[in-house]
């Protein structure tokens, strides 16, 4: 099974595909959902480090 390392010093995990099924049918609409600014900043810093 293919594995990938998460981040520079993160754990190794198996690659899992989500397929083509729409998630909103199961989990509901994302309308109005908010992603905390601190998490967005972290993701941006990870992208620029790569």
What are the C-alpha distances in Å from 10 to residues 15, 37, 39, 46?
A: 14, 21, 16, 12
Averaged pLDDT for residues 17-39:
69
Residue 43's pLDDT band (boundaries 50, 70, 90)?
A: confident
Whole-structure pTM value:
0.31
Tell me how many domains the chain contains. Answer: 1
Query: Is 21 part of a structural domain of the chain?
Result: no
Chain-centre distance for alpha carbon 41: 14
| Structural domain that includes position 41 | 1-16+35-50
Query: Is 12 part of a structural domain of the chain?
Result: yes
């Amino acid at each position: 099974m293919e594995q990938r390392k998460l981040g520079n010093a993160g754990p190794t995990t198996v690659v899992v595909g989500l397929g083509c099924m729409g998630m909103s049918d199961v989990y509901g609409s994302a309308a109005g959902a908010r992603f905390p600014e601190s998490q967005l900043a972290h993701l941006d810093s990870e992208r620029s480090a790569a």
